[in-house]
């Protein structure tokens, strides 16, 4: 019995190699729901296949959701730096062996059929990151294991110079933290996020950095993101129907007050740095 399983293994590995390299970015098999529902709703299962739930084991041995990220390559996940460095702690204080990356899941706690757990090999924090102002709140996670692509797990696209956003564009924030409307803590939700004028965030937040941050959401509180949404991608669709990461949820306020717009890192400004770090790590961006 044992030797049979060993013989079968190489065939399985070979079969998985070709689909991995042929999966396009930003192209879910299940289409995300794009009908506007102000306030958010449960996402269609599998429609944001690059979503990653980042979980950590606390000192008292509880698993907590630290935030979210998105798949960029077979070993690379994009997220915010604040999970790894903040006031009073740095990445060197964290035992990253006790962190997990949950991919292919829809439910937060219940185990999904397509869910797979990966581990962190290394974290690369943007050299300009400032824990106080949250300037350059960008980080890359290099995974220990190669991420297996399939219908429920595949990469998102990085925006390039032709991807401009405009005030009024409707983008989407998938996340496990946004539960105010559906009331379901257990599933991946999504919220429509219109791009707002920088002035809205400048008035709300004295430390809004209009050069590198995007303001999106609602001026008069409908929906705001929660801590486990931090690092979630603000997804915008281009004219070809391809989804790309325009922003990264970086700060806002208490999601239960929900009176303010949200602040996102403008990923198009960081695409070059991200691609450079991916290449340096040995996993160049493929698209
Ligand atoms: C970080 O941001 C704070 C607040 O804006 C600022 O006072 C400080 O000088 C910044 N630190 C660095 C190293 O730029």
What residue ranges do the domains of the chain occupy? 170-268
Q: CB neighbours (10 Å) of residue 202?
A: 15
**CATH number, domain 170-268, options 3.40.50.300, 3.40.190.10, 2.40.50.1070, 2.40.10.10:** 2.40.10.10
Instruction: Please tell me the distance from the alpha carbon of residue 171 to that of residue 252, in angstroms, as a whole number.
Output: 17
Q: How many residues does the chain have?
A: 287
β-pair partners for 67 = 54
Give the closest residue (by CA) to ligand 1 atom 10.
130
Give the chain's radius of gyration (CA, Å): 18
Backbone CA torsion sign across 259, 158, 198, 207: positive
> Which of 174, 148, 116, 110 has the alpha carbon at shortest distance from 17?
148
Token pair 């991200």 is found at 274
Is 128 touching ligand 1 by the criterion CB < 6 Å? no
Among 132, 135, 213, name the best residue to mutate to test ligand 1's pocket (greatest count of ligand atoms within 8 A of Cβ): 132
Could you give the C-alpha distances from 37 to 47, 102, 233, 245, 246, in angstroms and in order? 16, 27, 19, 21, 20
Ligand 1 atom closest to the CA of 207, numbered from 1: 5
| Ligand 1 centroid to residue 284 C-alpha, Å | 32
Which residue's CA is minimally distant from atom 12 of ligand 1? 130
Angle CA 53–114–158, to nearest 5: 50
φ, ψ for residue 158, nearest 5 deg = -85, 145
Measure 132 CA to ligand 1 centroid, in angstroms.
6
Residue 89 C-alpha to ligand 1 middle, in angstroms? 16
Q: Which of 279, 276, 229, 278 is nearest to 250 (CA)?
A: 229
Tens digits of pLDDT across the chain (287 residues): 333 343 444 444 444 444 446 899 999 999 999 987 666 788 999 999 999 999 998 888 888 889 999 999 999 999 999 999 999 999 988 999 999 999 999 998 888 999 999 999 999 999 999 999 999 999 999 999 999 999 999 999 999 877 788 999 999 999 887 555 555 668 898 888 899 999 999 998 888 999 999 999 888 765 556 777 889 999 999 989 999 999 999 987 556 555 568 899 999 999 999 999 999 999 999 99
**Centroid of ligand 1 to alpha carbon of 279 (angstroms):** 29
CB of 133 sitting under 6 A from ligand 1: yes
User: Is the whole-model pTM more than 0.85?
Assistant: yes
130 touches ligand 1 (CB under 6 Å) = yes
């Amino acid at each position: 019995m044992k030797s049979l399983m060993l013989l079968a293994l190489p065939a399985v590995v070979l079969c998985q190699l070709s689909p991995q390299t042929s999966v396009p970015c930003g192209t879910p098999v299940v289409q995300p729901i794009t009908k506007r529902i102000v306030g958010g709703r449960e996402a269609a299962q599998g429609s944001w296949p690059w979503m990653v739930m980042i979980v950590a084991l606390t000192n008292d041995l509880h698993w907590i959701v630290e935030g979210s990220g998105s798949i960029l390559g077979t070993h690379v996940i994009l997220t915010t730096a604040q999970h790894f460095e903040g006031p009073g702690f740095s990445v060197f204080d964290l035992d990253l062996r006790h962190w997990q990356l949950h991919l292919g899941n829809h439910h937060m706690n219940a185990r999904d059929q397509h869910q797979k757990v990966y581990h962190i090999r290394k974290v690369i924090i943007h050299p300009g990151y400032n824990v106080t102002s949250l300037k350059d709140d960008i980080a890359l996670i290099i995974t220990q294991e190669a991420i297996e692509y399939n219908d429920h797990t595949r990469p998102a696209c990085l925006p390039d110079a032709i991807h401009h956003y405009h005030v009024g564009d409707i983008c989407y924030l998938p996340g496990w933290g946004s539960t105010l409307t559906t009331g379901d803590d257990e599933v991946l939700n999504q919220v429509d996020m219109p791009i707002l004028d920088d002035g809205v965030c400048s008035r709300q937040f004295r430390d809004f950095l209009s050069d590198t941050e995007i303001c999106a959401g609602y001026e008069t509180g409908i929906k705001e993101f929660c801590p486990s949404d931090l690092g979630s991608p603000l997804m915008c669709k281009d004219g070809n129907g391809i989804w790309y990461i325009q922003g990264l949820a970086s700060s806002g306020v208490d999601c239960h007050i929900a009176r303010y717009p949200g602040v996102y890192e403008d990923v198009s400004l960081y695409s070059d740095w991200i691609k450079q770090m991916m290449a340096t790590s040995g996993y160049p961006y493929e698209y």
